[in-house]
Amino acid sequence: MQAKKRFILIWLIVLLFILIMCLLKRTRKPETLLNLTYNANYVENLPSFMDDWHQSLEVGRPPAAKTYEARQQVPYHSSHKKTNKNCRMETCFDSSRCENNFRVFVYPLSELETSGLMTSTRSVLYQKMLDIIVESRYYTDEYTKACVFVIAIDTLDRDPLSPDYLRNIPMKMQRLRHWNGGRNHVIFNLYSGSWPDYNEDDLGFHTGDAILAKASMSVTNMRPGFDISFPLFHKKHPERGGEPGFVRSNTYPITKNYKLAFKGKRYVLGSGSETRNSIFHLHNGKDTIVVTTCKHGKNWKDAQDERCDVDNTLYEKYDYGSLLKNSTFCLVPRGRRLGSYRFLEALQAGCIPVLLSNNWALPFDEVIDWNKAVIWADERLLFQVPEVIHSISEIKLFALRQQTQILWEQYFNTIEKIVFTTFEIIKERLPKLQSRDGIVWNTSPGALVSQHLYTEYLNFNLPFNYHLFGKQPTPNFTVVIFSQHNSLNTPLYRLVRNLAASKYLTQIIINSCADNNGKSGYQKIAGIQILVSSGNDCRRFEPLPFIKTEAILSLDDDVVITTDEIDFAFHVWQSFPDRIVGFPARSHYWDNSKDSWLYTSKWTNEYSIILTGAAFYHQYYNTLYTQWLSPLLIKTVEQSHNCEDILMNFLVSHVTRRPPIKVSQRKHYKEQANNGMPKSPWNDPDHFMQRQTCLNTFVVLFGYMPLLQSSVRFDPILFKDPVSNFRKKYKQIELVSN
Amino acid sequence: MFIRLACCRLLRHRKLIYISIFISFLLSFVYVVVLPHVLMLFQKPPSKVQEVCQYVIPKDSPTVPTNSRCTFFDCFNIYRCGHKFNGDFKVYVYPMARHVDEDFIPIGGKMSKEYHSILSAIVESQYYTTNPEEACVFVSSIDTLNQNRFRVKETSQALALLPHWNDGQNHLIFNMVPGTAPDYKTVVDLSIGKSMVAGAGFDSWTYRSSFDISIAIYSNLANSLSNNYTFQHRTTFISTVQTNLHSDFITSLKSIEKQKSTTQNMTMSMIRVIEPCSHSGHDRTIICHENITYNYADILADSVFCLILPGPRLMDMVFIDALAAGCIPIVAINHVVLPFFEVIDWKRAVIMWSETELNTLLDVVSGIPLDRRKEMSAQGRWLYQTYLSSLKIITMTTLKILSQRLHPHSSDFYENWNLRPHPVSARNPLFLPYMSDSTGFTAIILSYNRIDSLFTLINMISKAPSLQKIIVIWNNQLKSPPHFSAWPKIDVSLKVVQTTANKLSNRFFPYREIETEAVLSLDDDILMLTLDEIEFGFQVWKEFPDHIVGFPSRTHIWNNKTNTWKYESEWKNEISMVLTGAAFYHKYWNQAYTYIMPNIIKQWVDEHMNCEDIAMNFLVSNTTNKAPIKVTPKKKFKCPQCTNTEMLSVDQGHMAIRTSCVNMFAAIYGRMPLKTVEYRVDPVLYKDVFPTKLKRYNNVGEL
C-alpha cells in the first residue's frame, strides 16, 4: 500500500474510534455506587496511618516524659469535704494494705453507745450487715491489718423523708479515726435523693475517696471499676440460709399462663418515670398483664386522670405473687429510682426480668453477665417490648430462666451473700488477689465458693465445670489416713497393703493426731513408703502441701476395705468429682415432736451423709473447709472434737446442692472392737448425742439445712448378677457381706 | 475543504473504507468489552475512575464541642435504627471527598490504607446502606485514625459540615492514635458533639461508658509474628519490648534485672529490659539489650511474659504484637481501657498489674503455674486472631458491639465471646444445679402394630404412682390405631398420636402434650419391667436430671484390628449407652434431637429405621460430656426366657448396622462423645439382709 493510503487509513481508524467512544460514553450509566473503589494499585500506594508516628515523637527530650509526669500527679485529693468524682482503684485505694490478706475492719460502737448513754442510731438492717461482717472470715479488729473499712454509721437510707434517715452524718464522719479522706472505706447505700427529683448523687454527705456500694446507680454516675452497683433488697431479707428460687422443676418449654406481667404503681403526681405512666398500653388482658394503680402518696386523688378508676379496678383483679409465678417475663420498669425491689423478686421467681430502666447499672454488673438472665428493653422503644420478647427462642428462655435461679442463689438470696459479693468484687480488682474469670462468676456454684489464690489457679482444677473445658480429673488419688492412735497396729498394716494394691494410688499420707510432735517424715509400713505428717493439731482437713492429686481418699486408721472397693469408688468419683463418694452412709431427718434435726446411723432407704472415715473427695474441699467456712463452725468442731465429717458433708452439699454418693454394699467399715483395737469413740453414746447437737448447730449457723437425701447406691455393673465371677471386674465386692 | 477532498478520494477506495471501519469497530470492541475483562483478570477490584468532590471549609465554620457526659440513652437517636430484632442495623458511609481550607490546603493527609480498609469492610458488610435516610449509624470518609495526620480544628469543622451531621448524633468516629505531643490526650481531640468514638487507648476518664467503643490499634507487624508459634523453649521470663519508655521505668526495671541476675542462677533469665538502639532510627523491628541488637520478633517469641508499660499513648501496638506472638502481656498501665473490654474478658489472657508496684511483680508472676501460662498464651493468640488481627475483623467486632447495644436481647453470652472452641468441651443446657421436684413423668410408647403387647404394657405401666400421662406414638400409616373403646381403661390420661410418616424420630418429637419434665420412653414390647423398677428409675432420674437414666444398657468397644468402634450388647463390665426402649430423660432432649442434632444423623435414622437410641445417647453425651446411668441389674425386657433383646434377635445384619451407626456418628461429631462407665445404680438397701417391710423398692433385682 502506498504511504498516503496508509496514512489516511490510520487517521480514519482513529477518527471512527473516537466517534464510537464518544457515543458509548454518553450511553454509559453514571456511577451511582459509592465511591470507595480506588484502583487496586492506588490502594496499595496509600500511606499507612502510622507513617507519621515516629516523627511525632519529639526529638531531644525523653519520650513519654510529659505523660509520665502527668500520670504522677493523678487528680486525686483526700478531703472528706467533697466526693471525689475522679476516683479509680489506682488513685483512691491503697492496695498496699491488702498485700496478702483481704481483711475488713468495722468501726467499733462509739463509747457513748457501748455505755448505753446513747441509743443505737443504726437501722436493724445495717446492724445486721455489720454483724455479718464481724462474724465472717473477712473481719479483723485491728485496723492496721485491714484492707477495707466499714463505718458504723448507717448510710443505707439517705432519703430525708424516711424514718431511718440519720442526721448529722458529716459531723459524725469527722470523728472517724481512720477515715483518711475515705480511703479504703466502703459506704453502703440503698436509697439516695428525695422527692421530687430523687437525685442519685444526693447522699446528704460527701464520701471523699470511699468506694460507694449503692443501689440504683446509673452507669454514668458510677466511677468505673471503683463504685459497686448494689442490689436493692427488703429489710426482711434473711441474713443466712435464704430462700431458694421458685423454679424447682425445670420444665421445657416454659409453659406459663402469661407471657409478660407487671403490677405496680404509676405516678400521677409526676415524681416517677414517664415509662411507668405509659406501660399500661401493653396490657392486653390475655398473655400480657400490665396493671398499674394511681394510688400512691396521700394526695394522689388531686392529680388523678380519667384512666385512674379503670386502672385501679383492674389492678385489684390480679395478685402480685401469682403473677410472678405464672408469667414467663416480668416487667421491671424504673420507679422513682432506677432500681426496684421487683428486680430481685422476679429473679427469685424465675420470671425473666424485662428491664425498662435506661442507664441502670445492674447489681454487681462488673462481674455478672446479666445478658444471660435478663432482657434489656429500651424505655424509648416501649411499644416494641412485646415483639422483642416474642422473638426470643424457647431454648434461650430455658437458659435465661435457669440462670435467674443460679444468680439468685449464688449472690442475692441472703444479706451475707450480698455483702460478701461486694468484698469479693473489690478483692478481684487487686492485682495480687484477683483470680476468677467470668466463667467462675457466671456458672454454678459461683465465685463465693471458688476461693483460691491466683497463683494456685490451675495447679488443680476446681471440682466444678470439668465438662466445660473437656477436662477429666487427674486419674490417681492420694490416701490421707487420719490416725488418732498412738501405735501402728495390725489393721493399719492390712489397710496399707490393700491400698498399695490399687494402681491409681500415688501416695499414702498419715495425718497423725496422737503423736503431735510437728515432725513429718517417711516411714516404711508393710514395705511401703508412707509420709507421716503430724503437728496439724488434729485438723483432719488441713490442706497438706504434699497432696499432688485432685482426689483424696480419706480414711480412718481402723478401716477395713478391699482394693476392689477402693478402685470402684474412685471410678465413680471420677464421674462425680464434685461430690463426696464413699462407703459409710448416715442420714438425717426432721423430728416434729422434738422440733429438731436428728442424726441416725440406722440402715435406711435414704442417706444424706457419707462419713469421711472412708470416702473420696476433691482436694479443693480441704481448702474450702479450712479457709472459707465461718469461724463459728470450725469452733464448734474443735470444741467438741467431733462432727468434722458432718461439717464436710454440710459444706459439699451447700456448695453443690447435691447429695453425696454411697458406693457398694459395705456397711461395717471398721475393725470390730474385739480384735484388740483400742476402744473407738464411736461406741460412746455421748459421742452420738454430740453429733446430734452438732447437726442442729450447723443448721443454725448455715441458716438452713443444706443436706440432701439420696436413695441410690452405686454398684458395679454386674454386681451380684448370676454370671461367672471370672467375668466380673470387681470380684472382691461380691464377697463383702453386710 | 480538506474533508471534502478526502471524502472524494476515499470514495475511490471503498475497500479502504470498509477495512478502516472494520478495524475501528474491532478496536473499539476490544477496548470496550475485551479490555476491561482482561484487566479485571489482572486486578481484582474493577478500576473505576474516582470522582472526588472537593469541599472548602470556611475559616469560621462552627463546631460543637464534644459532650463528655454523653450516654447511649441521651445522645444516641435510637429511633433511626428501625426495629429489627435480629441485631441488624444500617450504616451509611459518606462519599469520598477532598476537604481543603480557604487557602486550598488539605485539612489532613491522604486517606490511609487502614481507614480505607475500615470503610471497605463496612461497605462489604450486611450493615451497609447507600441510603442515608434508612441509616442508623453514620461513618465519615474523613480519615481520623491518627491525630498526627490531620489538622484538628479544620477536621472538626469539616465533620460539622457533613450533610447528616446533626450535632454528630449517631456518628461513629474511628481513631487509633489519639492525642499529640506534648500532652497526649487519651481521646481524639476533635470537637464532635454527640458522636461516638471508636477509639484505641482510652483511659477510664475519657471513655464514656456504654457510649464509646474501645477498639484495638491495628498492627501490621503482628500478623507475621503469629506464625511459627510455640510456647516451648522461651528463655526469657519477662521482657519489656517498648522503646519509648520513661527513664524512671527503665532505671527501676534495670535495678530489678540486676538484682535478679545476681541472686538467682537459673537457666532462664528472669527479666530483660530492652532499650532503643542508638543506631536504628525509627525501625520498629530492631531493638537492643546491653548493646546487642535483637530482632523485635525474636524477643517476643522468646519471652513468656511481655511487660507493657504506659508509653506516650496508653495503647501501644506492642500489646497487639505480644498477643499475636503468644507472649503473655502484663499490662501495667493504670486506668487503661482495653480493646473491646465490654465483651472480652482480658483476665483470661492478660495479667493486669499496677505500674507503681513493679518491684513485687516478679514474685507473683513467677508463681503462676505452667499450665496456666500455656492457657493464657493460647487464649491471647486466639483473642488476637478472632477480634484484632485485621482491620476488617476490628471493624466487624466494633459493629457487632454496637449491634448488641441496639438490640441487647440478641447479645452473645460471655461464653460465646470468650471461650475458645474446644473439641471436647461441652455446655450442658440443663445447668441448673437441682434435684428435680417434679411429681410425675409422661410415658411415651412407640407402637406400630403389636396391639396385644402394647395393651399389656399400658395396663402394667398405668399402675405406676408417678405416671401422669401416656402418649402412644402410632407410627403405622396403613392401619389406624384401635378404636378408643378398645383401649385399656386406665386412670391416667392416654393420648394417641397418629403420625404422618413412619419415622423413628417421631418418638423424640417435643410434643406439646408432654407437660412433665421427665419422659419415660418405651418400646411397645417392653413387658418385663416392674412398678418398683419404674418408680426407682424415676427417683434416680430426679437425682440426675441431666442424664439418660434407664434399663437396657449397651457399650462400644474399640477394635484394634479394624481401627473402628464396635457396638456391643454382651453383658460386660462397662456401659456407655442406655437404650431409649426403656429410659427416662429430660424433655429438653426431644427438642435437641429434633432441632439441634446434626440433620444428617436424623435423616439417616429415619431412612434406615434404626439407631435412633444410639443417636440420642450420642447427642446427650456430646452435649453434656456425661455418661448415661443404668438402673438396676435388669437385663431382660420382653420375656423371662429371652436373654437379651439383641443377642437373640440374632440378625447379624442388625448388629452390623448398629456398629456402623456408632462409627458414623462418631465421625459426624468429630470425636467419640460416649463415656464408658463401670457402675450402675441400685436402691440403697439392695440385696441387704433386711426386713422387706422396711425396704423400699423390693421388687427390684430380677434380671
User: CB contact, 8 Å: B47 with chain A?
Assistant: yes
Distance of CA A122 to the CA centre of its chain: 28
Main-chain phi, psi angles of B203, to 5 degrees: -105, 175
Q: What is the pLDDT of residue B32?
A: 67
B267 — pLDDT class (breaks 50, 70, 90) = low
Residue A103 pLDDT > 80: yes
pTM for the complete prediction?
0.90
Q: State which amino acid sits at residue B660.
A: S
Strands A614-618 and A327-333: unpaired
Which residue from A48, A575, A710 is facing B113, i.e. has the nearest CB? A48
- Chain A residues within 8 A of B146 when measuring between CB atoms: 49-50, 52-53
Q: Go through chain A and tell me how many residues it has.
A: 738
- d(CA B668, CA B611) in angstroms, rounded, equals 14
Q: pLDDT (tens digit, 9 = 90+) per residue, A494-544?
A: 888 899 999 999 999 988 877 656 667 788 877 778 888 777 677 889 888
Kindly report, residue by residue over B152-195, the tens digit of the pLDDT. 999 999 999 999 999 999 999 999 998 887 778 889 999 999 99
Percentage helix, strand, coil, to 5, in chain A? 35, 15, 45
Say what the pLDDT of residue B624 is. Answer: 93
Please give the share of chain A, as a percent, with pLDDT higher than 90: 48
pLDDT range class, residue A9, cuts 50, 70, 90:
confident
d(CA B341, CA B337): 7
Q: How far is CA A164 from the centre of its chain?
A: 30
More confident residue, B290 or B497: B497
Average pLDDT over residues B80-101: 83
Residue B420 has pLDDT above 60, yes or no: yes
Region of A678 please: left (phi>0), alpha (psi -120 to 50) or beta: beta
Higher pLDDT, B270 or A676: B270
Other CB atoms closer than 10 Å to residue B226's CB: what's the count? 16
pLDDT band per the 50, 70, 90 thresholds, residue B280 = low
Q: Which among A412, A289, A410 has a CA at the least distance from the CA of A343? A: A412
Local confidence band at B12 (pLDDT 50, 70, 90 cut-offs): low
Picking from A342-356, A456-470, A718-732, which range would have the lowest pLDDT averaged per residue? Answer: A456-470
Do the chains contact at A468 and B425, CB–CB below 8 Å? yes
d(CA A399, CA A444): 13
- Look at B198 and B270; give whichever has higher pLDDT: B198
Q: Name which of A191-205, A404-418, B470-484, B651-665 the model is least confident about.
A: A191-205
Check: CB of residue B214 under 8 Å from CB of residue B341: yes
Look at residue B84 in the predicted model and tell me its pLDDT: 63
pLDDT band at A120 (very low <50, low <70, confident <90, very high): low
Q: How confident is the model at residue B600 (pLDDT cuts 50, 70, 90)?
A: very high
| Cross-chain Cβ contact B28/A17 below 8 Å | yes
Residue B286 confidence (pLDDT) above 90: no
- Confidence category of residue B41, pLDDT binned at 50, 70, 90: low
Query: Which residues between 60 and 119 in chain B have a beta carbon less than 8 angstroms from any beta carbon of chain A?
Result: 69, 71-73, 78-79, 83, 85-86, 93, 95-96, 109-116, 119
Q: Is the pLDDT of residue A487 over 70?
A: no
Beta-carbon separation of A439 and B624 below 8 A: no
Beta-bridge partner residues of B473: B446, B497
pLDDT tops 90 at residue A670: no
How close B282 comes to chain A (CA, Å)?
6
Residues 457-516 of A with CB under 8 A from B: 457-459, 466-470
**Torsion angle of C-alpha atoms B458, B460, B464, B469, degrees rounded to 10:** 0
Q: Does B45 reach chain A within 8 Å, measured CB to CB? A: yes
Average pLDDT, rounded, for chain B: 87
Buried-state track B325-352, b at ≥16 Cβ within 10 A, e below 16? bbbbbbbbbbbbbbbbeebbbbbbbbbb
Of residues A155 and B284, more confidence is placed in: A155
Length of chain B: 703
Q: In this structure, how many other beta carbons lie within 10 angstroms of the beta carbon of residue A602?
A: 7
- B97-101 and B53-57 beta bridge pairing: parallel
User: Going by DSSP bridges, is the β-strand pair B577-578/B553-559 parallel, antiparallel, or unpaired?
Assistant: antiparallel
Is B248:A68 a contact under the CB 8 Å cutoff?
yes
Q: What is the mean pLDDT of residues A695-716?
A: 95
**Straight-line distance from the first to the last Cα atom of chain A, in angstroms, rounded to the nearest whole number:** 122
Does B277 contact A at CB distance below 8 Å? no
Question: What distance lies between CA B324 and its chain's CA centroid?
Answer: 19
Q: Quick one: pLDDT at residue B225?
A: 85
Decide if B148 contacts A52 (C-beta within 8 A): yes
Q: What is the pLDDT of residue A516?
A: 57
In whole angstroms, what is the distance from residue A321 CA to residue A339 CA?
19
Using a CB–CB cutoff of 8 Å, tell me whether A256 touches chain B: no
The pLDDT tens digits for B437-493 are 889 999 999 998 889 999 999 999 999 999 999 999 999 999 889 988 899 999 999
| Statement: residue B28 has pLDDT above 80 | no
Does the CB of A372 have a partner CB in chain B at under 8 Å? yes
Q: Which residues pair with A616 in a beta bridge?
A: A553, A581
Residues 443-472 of B with CB under 8 A from A: none
Find, in chain A, the residue whose alpha carbon is nearest to that of B630: A717
Mind listing the pLDDT tens digit for each residue in B641-679? 665 555 545 577 888 999 999 999 999 999 999 999 999
Retrieve residue A233's grid coordinates: 433488697
pLDDT at A60: 37
Name the residue facing B204 among A62, A225, A380 (closest C-beta). Answer: A225
- pLDDT-based confidence at residue B246 (cuts at 50, 70, 90): confident
Least confident of A436-450, A665-679, B290-304: A665-679
Q: How far apart are CA B422 and CA A502, in angstroms?
A: 33
Nearest CA in chain B to A666: B688
**A358 part of contact set with chain B, CB < 8 Å:** yes
What 3-state class would DSSP assign to B431? coil
Residues of B in contact with A34 (CB under 8 A): 93, 95-96, 123, 130
φ, ψ of residue A188 in degrees (nearest 5)? -95, 140
Query: Per the residue annotation, which of A309, A645, A684, A715 is the catalytic one?
Result: A645
CA distance to A414, A646, A704, B543, per residue, from A653 (Å): 18, 11, 12, 13
Beta bridge partners of B320: none
Write the burial class of residue B578 (CB in 10 Å: 0-12 exposed, 13-18 middle, 19+ buried): buried
Active site residue A201: no
Question: Taking a C-beta distance cutoff of 8 angstroms, is the pair A628, A547 a contact?
Answer: no
Confidence of residue A688 (pLDDT cuts 50, 70, 90): confident
Residue A457 bridge partners (DSSP) = A460
Burial call B384-422: b when 16+ CB within 10 Å, e when fewer? bbebbbebebbbbbbbbbbbbbbbbbbbebbbebbbeee
User: Residue B335 in contact with residue A76, Cβ under 8 Å?
Assistant: no
Residue A3 in this model has a pLDDT that exceeds 80:
no
Q: What is the pLDDT of residue A365?
A: 94
Q: Cα–Cα distance between B585 and B520 in angstroms, integer?
A: 7
Tell me the pLDDT tens digit for each residue of A45-91: 788 887 754 444 444 344 455 566 666 655 554 444 678 888 899 88
Backbone angles phi, psi at B441, to 5 degrees: -135, 165
User: Inter-chain contact A249–B424, Cβ cutoff 8 Å?
Assistant: no
Q: Quick one: pLDDT band at residue A421, thresholds 50, 70, 90? A: very high
pLDDT for A580 equals: 97
- Average confidence (pLDDT) over A615-626: 92
**What does pLDDT average to over chain A?**
85
Q: Is B30 on the interface with A (CB under 8 A)?
A: no
Mean pLDDT over B674-689 rounds to 94
pLDDT at B532 over 90: yes
Which pLDDT score, from 0 to 100, does residue A24 have? 64
Q: Which position has the higher pLDDT, B86 or B628?
A: B628
pLDDT value at residue A695:
94
